[in-house]
Homo-oligomer: A and B are copies of this chain.
Amino acid sequence: MRNAIYGQSGGVTAVINASACGVIEAARQHSHAIGRVFAARSGIIGVLDEDFTDTTDVSDDAIAALRYTPSGVFGSCRFKLDDPATDNRQFERIVDVFKAHDIGYFFYNGGGDSADTCIKISRFADRVDYPLQAILVPKTIDNDLFGTDTSPGFGSVAKYIAVSTREASFDVRSMSVSSTKVFVFEVMGRHAGWIAAAGALAADEGYDLSIVIIFPEIAFDRSRFTAKVDAMIHRYGYCTVTVAEGAKLADGRFLAEQGHRDAFGHSQLGGAATVVADMLSSTLGCKCHWAVADYLQRSARHVASRTDVDQAYAVGKAAVEMAMAGDNAIMPTIVRTSNDPYTWKIGKVPLTQVANVENVLPRHFISADGFGITNACRMHLLPLIQGEDPPPYDRGLPRYATVQHIGVPKRLEPFKR
């Protein structure tokens, strides 16, 4: 019997704690093989710092409450490990920490960057003959993970964006005769337009709304864009523009670059909405409103997709079951077995195929003019936002959970990261 450690990495989501719930509940089902279940505080940083919460004695009810709690309850991180080819001290430390606490199972809950972290740890453990099974529990709102039909976290963001786009389109339509004619809604998505595409779900055969999407995959052309919005305003009286934060000009520059970069070297974006709104008010002379959803979209557990919650839980549970079956350096995936009715099952993919690959929106999911989605895209996305799973409310607000921190005594000297 060996212990397990679970960690959360990268931008958090509305359902990453549902995966934590899946991991911990499944581990409790396998108490013949898994001893204590630790949660690293702030992902791999908590491993380096030997800073864990011991979830073993946390009540079943408290763990169950993670299913409906957004954010990363154990803390997440943006922290890129050194390249072990040039400096392997961090990896030696990780293995030392694992040894000190008899960790046999490492469940890392993240996206493409975390796959890279996970695979490097797995390889290093192999190299030093430390027996470890490292499994990535998939998570990313961007839906750009390779090898899985969808990434847990995305369905709930997509639902939030579709609901918000429908609501805001109703709003601007009300105002458009004498006031605001354009509502610009900036959503996440640096390189992949999956989230932006969800804005188009707000309109369907029952809801003939005026929506234009700006995808990062399509080079932004100012004159074509303003002509499109102008035409939509002439037809409908108003227009909602859902713009991905990563919208780019033909030369690859972001429509709105803030200049900051995160630990992985990614640009930190925000402000595409103001650029678009200013462009439209100056070119078309109409009043524009704009919103930037930022963290709201990925923390909005109150309007999460039930499908997404179920899948987030399922990949957590499957990660443990795969570890029990002897798997290593893999990621459980969502496999779509049918579109209508939508059915899915759990599959798996080697991490070598996942790390550092970005799965963008395929061109045939984007309409010919580049400003909308095709029916194929709609059929692909709609199942992912199905079902509601509201959290319990207490005195008017969602009763989200926290997990009591039960510290684990440190057995090693501090490490200078």
Contact B289 A270 (CB under 8 A): yes
Q: Does A76 contact B (CB under 8 A)?
A: yes
Contact A396 B159 (CB under 8 A): yes
Residues on B with C-beta less than 8 A from A159 are 396-397
Q: Does A382 contact B (CB under 8 A)?
A: yes
The stretch among A65-73, A85-93, A323-331, A369-377 that forms the contact with chain B is: A65-73
Give the secondary structure class of A's interface: mixed
Q: Does A84 contact B (CB under 8 A)?
A: no
Contact A291 B287 (CB under 8 A): no
Nearest-neighbour CB distance to chain B for A352, whole angstroms, equals: 26
The stretch among A95-103, A169-177, A309-317 that forms the contact with chain B is: A169-177
Contact B71 A201 (CB under 8 A): no
Residues on B with C-beta less than 8 A from A78 are 175, 178-179
Contact B390 A167 (CB under 8 A): no
Expressed in whole angstroms, the Cα–Cα distance for A303 and B289 within the complex equals: 21
Contact A299 B167 (CB under 8 A): yes
Query: A179, A201, A281, A298 — which one has the most chain B CB atoms within 10 A of its CB?
Result: A179
Nearest-neighbour CB distance to chain B for A141, whole angstroms, equals: 11
Q: What is the number of residues of chain A that contact chain B, defined by CB distance less than 8 Å? A: 80
Per-residue interface assignment for chain A, residues 376 to 413, with 1 indicating a CB less than 8 Å from any chain B CB and 0 otherwise: 00000010011110100111111110000000000000
Q: Does A322 contact B (CB under 8 A)?
A: no
Check A8/B174 contact, CB under 8 A, given A179-B263, A260-B287, A292-B290. Answer: yes
Nearest-neighbour CB distance to chain B for A336, whole angstroms, equals: 16
Expressed in whole angstroms, the Cα–Cα distance for A300 and B167 within the complex equals: 6
Residues on B with C-beta less than 8 A from A14 are 167
25 A-B pairs in the complex with CB atoms less than 8 angstroms apart? A14-B167, A42-B178, A71-B173, A76-B174, A77-B177, A77-B178, A77-B179, A78-B175, A163-B398, A164-B296, A167-B295, A167-B299, A167-B400, A168-B299, A171-B299, A207-B400, A262-B287, A270-B289, A271-B274, A273-B292, A289-B294, A291-B293, A302-B303, A382-B395, A386-B396
Interface, chain A (partner B; CB < 8 A): 8, 11-12, 14, 41-42, 45, 69-73, 75-79, 159, 162-164, 166-168, 170-179, 183, 185, 201-202, 204, 206-207, 260, 262-263, 268, 270-271, 273-274, 281, 287, 289-296, 298-303, 305, 382, 385-388, 390, 393-400
The 4 closest A-B pairs by CB, nearest first: A71-B170, A72-B174, A291-B294, A167-B299
